Amino acid sequence: MDCIFCKIVSGEIPCFKVYEDENALAFLDVAPCADGHTMVIPKKHAGAFVEMTPEEAGNLFEAVNKVSVRLMDKLENVTGLTIGANTYASAGQTVMHTHIHIFPRCEGDGGGTTHSIVNSAVSKDPEYLKKISELLTSENENV
Ligand SMILES: [Zn+2]
């Protein structure tokens, strides 16, 4: 498979490793948006986050948690983190091997919140929100 992140997992392409366990690998983004900007990926190829099983996603987020604690503990001036995953091209995913970004944050770094990423004009009507809630909590054969 011609996947750059699978090649990083196999060692064919080098990386600046931050953390590794049985299921996940974390390394510095080579085009960082902040000091310590890290990506955490599953070692087993998954095109996007929603293509992983709940167990695989849980294993990935166990690593995300450990890396997050490490970034907070070891990097100076880090007082917060923003954690996120672009999922599929419409959300900005460019490498089709799922990856979780961890951006170390500090006061006054100029970055926004997750609410600044997506700000579509959507209804805030409680009846509409209730309909979405009911749709999402209804039985679904895939979950
Ligand atoms: Zn891959």
Q: What's the topology of domain 4-118?
A: HIT family, subunit A (3.30.428)
Please say whether the beta carbons of 27 and 38 come within 8 A.
yes
pLDDT of 143 > 60? The answer is: no
CA gap 126, 132 in Å, rounded: 10
Give percent of the chain above pLDDT 70. Answer: 97
Beta strands (DSSP E) in the chain are 17-20, 24-28, 38-42, 80-84, 100-105
- Ligand 1 centre distance from Cα of residue 63 (Å): 17
The position carrying tokens 């500090």 is 106
Calculate how far, in angstroms, residue 5's C-alpha sits from the geometric centre of ligand 1: 5
- DSSP three-state, residue 24: strand
Tell me how far the alpha carbon of residue 11 lies from the centroid of ligand 1, in angstroms.
Answer: 12
Over residues 19-40, the pLDDT tens digits come to 999 999 999 999 999 999 999 9
Provide the mean pLDDT of the chain: 95
Task: State which amino acid sits at residue 108.
Answer: G
How far, in Å, from the CA of 3 to the mean position of ligand 1? Answer: 5
115 belongs to the catalytic site: no
CB of 106 closer than 8 Å to CB of 95: no
Distance 23 CA to ligand 1 centre (A): 13
Task: Find the length of the chain.
Answer: 143
Domain ranges, ordered by start, for the chain: 4-118
Under the banding of pLDDT at 50, 70 and 90, the label for residue 142 is low
Are the beta carbons of 84 and 101 closer than 8 angstroms?
yes
Task: Catalytic residue, from 37, 45, 97, 99: name it.
Answer: 99
Separation of alpha carbons 143 and 54, rounded Å? 9
What confidence tens digit (pLDDT) does each residue in 87-126 have? Answer: 999 999 999 999 999 999 999 999 999 989 888 888 999 9
